[in-house]
């Protein structure tokens, strides 16, 4: 019996787990996939929104603004790549100018600091690559960019360090109320919990329906993206939005914390797990982005991807008690990433109201340091390699990631078990060759660490096998 | 302080270092990121190497071994498992390796021989899902030939670059079924001999003017959709063919790896994606040379060797005799020519002949390669056929260059 069981280990589940790990509680997270951050968390715009989009008075407005502050705090404490670069919403038409006014008003009511409407010329002064057609812009200095999967990882690692247990490859198939507790059936047996948190992302409606009446439906909205090489990384220095519509926040052009340029997304209805890209979707992203920043060089593309928003056709998150001892953290669409730490905080508060004892632990470990060889000075590199030679061996040449960093990730509180898991932790394979060179080396390191043969190593999810079988000659037998 | 640091111990770096030694340098360091010398040749276990240079047919590892042997008879220092992270314009080379640690070495001259990388799915934005099973041909080659694992059993290959063609044969010999080789251009990007020996001999269909328009499969590739393209390379709706397969190999181009080069402030040529070089493979930074696939992508290692030997000899000359000087002729790409190497020639520095490598931008039948300046034709060379997949080479006698001022244009005139 665990005090709290969290379903799903995306950034929302991880934030809730970290929050609850501050208290004298036993907490278990069940995650269907083999790693954290496997859904919407790993495929989004990687923006921490300032908070002028949500309607004043909504939970979303409050959690967005609070989340943005908390995210900044945690990213610093937990060594998560974060940069407060500010954002602009561009206006191209009279209607857009009205929208800027509305956003400004909302922002003021929501308590967003530093908002300013600036002229097109002023916007171009700050971002010289903006189109001549930009009439004005809403400037929000508190907007930031972040590594979303690393934020999730940092929360999950902190939770684990403070006693939380994460069970991977475990899918919830049923929930039953049993003598004041929850019996949680999974494909790996039954778990019992006093309280349950539904943080199942695009599947949060399915989980909700196991315990309460069907009253919302996730209507997934897919967004496609381009990720461009670092040579395009300084095309803009702030997050450049267009005016939002009912479909979403529109196509943005933004630097990433890793030094690349991200462009996207579109918005289109999709299946919950359909993260395919399409020629039409990518064309739309390209054409629309060029209205904001005409000079983006799409021949520098290094990757395309798509993510699925857990929209539920409403203007607010669905965070509430759904059944006794059961709360939904559902319909977490944008700005879900930004709001995540505030949602975690609020989840604990809701459980407290439900009777969960929130007694703080004497010690809560809130620190995390990752060695990033690339960011060290020559002197620091010299000392590091002298101390541990594995930091001298570069595995990923595009991103300058060393063997030492990969080995450190393998010894971390939430170790990777896939090639992309390694990528999310240390950036190996994220660069312009997309793992062409380092992929086989990473497979080798993983196989050695996990004590399996290389053909057991997966690219990302279970089932994503890389190598079919040995060639006709058994390696090493000659 | 080294007289010469060679960055990269593949065929280019090996030939350059040997030539520099033979030309009198005695303090040479090769820095190689892999655990062994030889570069990409080590995974090219097929034959066909050395026909031009050695006049015999070798495998990739054999070809590399010839130079490793030569090198072992010199006093050239080698650091393997060591990666260069930065080259500065004042010729300081930052490198790191588990053995030697993080060190900065200085050199009187540098030869850049880092080779190239493969274009990826992301670079050409192939739509579809993102399952496992999509490999660049070179990565698949490494898995099969070095690691001893098959990346899949039913294979479609996009692109008809040489590595893709070689892998079509290799995967077939290892028991896979290669369903198709798909090329977006109306002609192959690889050598004719590879089309014949790797596709035709195994009845693997080559679909010219086709491309992959969708990838299906959630965890692993399950299907690849191939469509015909129009003259502007846009897919034609209604021409889709669906292949049930578990693997898609990409052989869609090679890109010289010039991040160190641009970091050193060296001028790059957007056409070759390598450094702009003079007749002796010297870059825009005096004393820094580039050769092999980092300068421009070659089809045949034999030419890499010859080019790199020139670079090695030139580096030695630079160190021993001082900088090369004299007037500069710019080599201009005329009609039909997509790039030339070198891009600049200093006649004073040309001994017998100045060799010019170039590629054409489409298939030409019987043609004349015309080298001209403002006054008219300086030299002409006849060819039966020219193709983008086969690099061309012409040699201009030093005498011819004496009276040329300013620029020279290389152009193709189709005869019939």
Q: Are residues A244 and A332 in the same domain?
A: no
What's the structural domain count of chain A? 3
Dump pLDDT digits (tens) for A411-449: 999 999 999 999 999 999 999 899 999 999 999 999 999
Would B120-252 and B326-416 be classified into the same CATH topology?
A: no
Asked if residue A466 belongs to a domain, the reply is no
pLDDT, position A473:
61
Instruction: Name chain B contacts of A227, Cβ cutoff 8 Å.
Output: 122
The answer to whether position A465 is within a domain reads no
Supply the range of the domain harboring residue A28.
Answer: 1-82+145-218+310-369
Domain-wise residue ranges, chain B: 1-117+254-324, 120-252, 326-416
Same domain, yes or no: A125 and A166: no
Q: Which of B35, B42, B125, B217 to mutate to test the interface with A (most CBs of A within 10 A)?
A: B125
Strand B47-49 versus strand A326-330 pairing type? unpaired
CATH architecture of B326-416: Sandwich (2.60)
Same-domain status, A293 and A356:
no
Q: Choose among A386, A392, A467: nearest Cβ to B149.
A: A467
The verdict on A389 touching B (C-beta cutoff 8 Å) is yes
Is position A156 within any domain? yes
Q: Do residues A394 and A429 share a domain?
A: yes
Taking CA atoms, what residue in A is nearest to B255? A433
Mean predicted confidence (pLDDT) in A375-392: 97
How high does pLDDT run on average in chain B?
96
CATH, residue A267: 3.30.9.10
Residue A385 lies in a domain: yes
CB proximity A394 to B under 8 Å? yes
Residue A165 lies in a domain: yes
Cβ distance of B127 and A302 shorter than 8 Å: no
Q: Would you call B81 an interface residue with chain A, using a CB distance cutoff of 8 Å?
A: yes
The stretches of A233-377 forming alpha helices (DSSP H) are 279-292, 336-353
CATH code linked to domain B1-117+254-324: 3.50.50.60
Q: Any idea which architecture B120-252 has in CATH?
A: 3-Layer(bba) Sandwich (3.50)
Mean pLDDT of chain A: 96
Is the overall model pTM greater than 0.90, yes or no? yes
Closest residue of B to A304, CA-based?
B122
Q: Has residue B405 got a pLDDT over 60?
A: yes
Judged by a CB distance cut-off of 8 A, whether residue A273 touches chain B is yes
Quick one: how far is CA B386 from the chain centroid? 18
Residues A7 and A71 in one domain: yes
pLDDT-above-70 percentage for chain B: 100
- Residue A424: inside a domain: yes
List the CATH number of the domain containing A24.
3.50.50.60
In a domain, residue A472? The reply is no
Higher pLDDT, A121 or A249: A121
Q: Both A327 and A443 in a single domain?
A: no
What is the tens place of the pLDDT at every residue in A229-277?
999 999 999 999 999 877 677 899 999 999 999 999 999 999 999 999 9
Q: What pLDDT is stored for residue B389 in this prediction?
A: 87
| Per-residue pLDDT tens over the stretch B107-133 | 999 999 999 999 999 999 999 999 999
Instruction: Measure the CA angle with vertex B129, ends B124 and B134; round to 5°.
Output: 60
Euclidean distance between CA atoms A253 and B158, whole angstroms: 30
The answer to whether A273 is a known catalytic residue is no
pLDDT at position B221 is: 98
A264 has a chain B CB within 8 A of its CB = no
Query: Which of A293, A309, A325 is at the close of a domain?
Result: A309
pLDDT tens figures, A141-174: 999 999 999 999 999 999 999 999 999 999 999 9
Q: Which of A49, A55, A208, A258 is catalytic?
A: A49
Q: Do A301 and B122 touch (CB under 8 A)?
A: yes
> Nearest by CB to B148, which of A276, A434, A470?
A470
Q: Which pLDDT belongs to residue A478?
A: 43
Residues of A whose CB is below 8 A from B147:
440, 443-444, 454, 467, 475
Mutation for A interface: B127, B161, B234, B236, most A CBs within 10 A: B127
Assembly ipTM: 0.94
- Among the three residues A258, A274, A309, which one is the final residue of a domain in this structure? A309
> Is A403 found in the same domain as A361?
no
Flag whether residue B268 sits within 8 Å of chain A, measured between CB atoms: no
**Do residue A51 and residue A118 come from a single domain?**
no
- CA of B293 vs chain A CAs: smallest distance (Å): 16
Interface of B with A in 104-163 (CB under 8 A): 104, 117-118, 120-125, 127-133, 136, 138-139, 142-144, 146-153
CATH number, domain with residue A450: 1.10.10
Are A163 and A65 part of one and the same domain?
Answer: yes
Q: Does residue A471 fall inside a structural domain? A: no
A101 & A117 share domain: yes
Any CB–CB contact under 8 A between B344 and chain A? no
Confidence of residue B234 (pLDDT cuts 50, 70, 90): very high
Q: Is the pLDDT of residue A205 over 80?
A: yes
Q: CA–CA separation, A223 vs A311, rounded Å?
A: 12
Nearest CB to A475: which of B85, B148, B174?
B148
Q: Are residues A208 and A193 in the same domain?
A: yes
Which residue, A351, A369, A387, sits at the end of a domain? A369
Are A259 and A112 found together in one domain?
yes
A393 and chain B in contact, CB less than 8 A: yes
CA distance B153 to chain A (A): 7
Q: Averaged over A329-356, what is the pLDDT? A: 97
Query: Taking CB atoms and an 8 Å cutoff, what residues of chain A touch B213?
Result: 279
């Amino acid at each position: 019996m665990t005090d709290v069981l969290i379903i799903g280990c995306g950034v929302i589940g991880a934030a809730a787990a970290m929050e609850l790990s501050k208290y004298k509680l036993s907490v278990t997270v069940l995650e269907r996939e083999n790693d954290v951050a496997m859904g919407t968390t790993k495929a989004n715009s990687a923006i921490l929104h300032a908070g002028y989009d949500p309607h004043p008075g909504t939970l979303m407005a409050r959690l967005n603004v609070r989340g943005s502050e908390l995210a900044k705090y945690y990213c610093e404490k937990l060594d998560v790549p974060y940069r407060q670069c500010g954002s602009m919403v561009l206006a191209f038409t009279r209607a857009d100018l009205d929208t800027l006014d509305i956003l400004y008003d909302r922002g003021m009511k929501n308590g967003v600091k530093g908002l300013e409407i600036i002229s097109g010329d002023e916007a171009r002064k700050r971002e010289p690559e903006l189109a001549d057609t930009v009439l004005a812009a809403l400037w929000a200095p508190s907007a930031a960019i972040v590594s979303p999967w690393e934020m999730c990882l940092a929360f999950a690692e902190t939770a684990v360090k403070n006693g939380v247990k994460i069970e991977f490859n475990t899918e919830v198939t049923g929930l039953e109320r049993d003598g004041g507790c929850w019996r949680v059936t999974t494909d790996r047996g039954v778990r019992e919990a006093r309280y349950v948190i539904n943080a199942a992302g695009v599947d949060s409606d399915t989980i909700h329906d196991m315990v309460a009446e069907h009253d919302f439906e996730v209507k997934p909205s897919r967004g496609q993206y381009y990720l461009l090489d670092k040579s395009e990384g300084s095309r803009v220095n702030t997050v450049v939005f267009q005016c939002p519509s009912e479909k979403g926040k529109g196509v943005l052009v933004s630097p990433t914390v890793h030094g690349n340029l991200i462009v996207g997304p579109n918005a289109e209805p999709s299946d919950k797990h359909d993260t395919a890209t399409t020629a039409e979707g990518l064309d739309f992203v390209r054409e629309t982005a060029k209205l904001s920043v005409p000079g983006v060089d799409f021949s520098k593309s290094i990757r395309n991807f798509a993510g699925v928003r857990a929209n539920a056709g409403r203007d607010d998150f669905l965070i509430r008690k759904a059944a006794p001892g059961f709360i939904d953290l559902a319909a977490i669409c944008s700005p879900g990433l930004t709001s995540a730490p505030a949602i975690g905080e609020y989840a604990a508060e809701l459980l407290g109201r439900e009777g969960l004892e929130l007694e703080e632990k004497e010690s809560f470990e809130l620190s995390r340091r990752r060695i990033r060889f690339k960011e060290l000075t020559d002197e620091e590199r010299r000392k590091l390699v002298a101390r541990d030679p594995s930091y001298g061996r570069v595995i990923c040449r595009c991103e300058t990631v060393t063997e030492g960093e990969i080995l450190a990730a393998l010894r971390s509180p939430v170790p990777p078990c896939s090639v992309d898991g390694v990528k999310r932790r240390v950036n190996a394979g994220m660069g312009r060759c997309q793992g062409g060179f380092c992929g086989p080396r990473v497979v080798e390191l993983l196989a050695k660490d996990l004590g399996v043969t290389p053909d057991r190593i997966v690219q990302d999810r279970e089932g994503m096998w890389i190598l079919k079988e040995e060639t006709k000659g058994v390696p090493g037998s000659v | 302080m080294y007289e010469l640091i060679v960055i990269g111990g593949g065929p280019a770096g090996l030939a350059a270092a040997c030539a520099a030694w033979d030309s009198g340098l005695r303090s040479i360091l090769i820095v190689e990121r892999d655990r062994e010398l030889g570069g990409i040749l080590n995974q090219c276990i097929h034959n066909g190497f050395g026909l031009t240079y050695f006049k015999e047919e070798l495998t990739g590892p054999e070809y590399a071994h010839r130079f490793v042997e030569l090198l072992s008879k010199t006093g050239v220092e080698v650091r393997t498992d060591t990666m260069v992270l930065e080259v500065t314009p004042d010729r300081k080379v930052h490198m790191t390796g588990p053995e030697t640690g993080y060190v900065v070495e200085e050199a009187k001259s540098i030869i850049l021989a880092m080779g190239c990388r493969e274009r990826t799915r992301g670079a050409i934005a192939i739509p579809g899902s993102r399952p496992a099973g999509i490999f660049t041909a070179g990565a698949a080659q490494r898995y099969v030939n070095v690691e001893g694992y098959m990346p899949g059993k039913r294979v479609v290959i996009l692109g008809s670059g040489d590595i893709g063609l070689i892998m079509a044969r290799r995967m077939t010999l290892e028991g896979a079924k290669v369903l198709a080789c798909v090329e977006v251009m109306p002609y192959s990007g690889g050598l004719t001999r590879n089309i014949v020996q790797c596709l035709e001999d195994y009845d693997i269909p080559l679909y010219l003017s086709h491309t992959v328009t969708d990838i299906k499969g959630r965890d692993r590739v399950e299907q690849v959709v191939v469509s015909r393209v129009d003259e502007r390379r846009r897919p034609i709706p209604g021409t889709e063919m669906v292949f049930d397969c578990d693997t898609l190999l990409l052989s869609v181009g090679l890109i010289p790896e010039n991040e160190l080069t641009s970091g050193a402030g060296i001028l790059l040529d957007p056409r070759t994606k390598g450094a702009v070089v003079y007749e002796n493979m010297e870059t825009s930074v005096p004393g820094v040379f580039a050769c092999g696939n980092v300068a421009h992508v070659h089809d045949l290692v034999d030419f890499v060797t010859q080019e790199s030997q020139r670079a090695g000899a030139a580096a030695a000359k630079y160190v021993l005799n001082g900088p090369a000087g004299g007037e500069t002729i710019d080599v201009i790409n005329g009609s039909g020519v997509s790039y030339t190497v070198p891009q600049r020639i200093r006649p004073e520095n040309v001994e017998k002949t100045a060799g010019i490598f170039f590629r054409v931008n489409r298939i030409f039948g019987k043609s004349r390669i015309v080298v001209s300046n403002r006054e008219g034709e300086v030299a002409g060379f006849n060819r039966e056929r020219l193709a983008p997949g086969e690099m061309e080479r012409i040699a201009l006698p030093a005498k011819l260059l004496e009276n040329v001022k300013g620029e020279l244009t290389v152009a193709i005139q189709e005869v019939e």
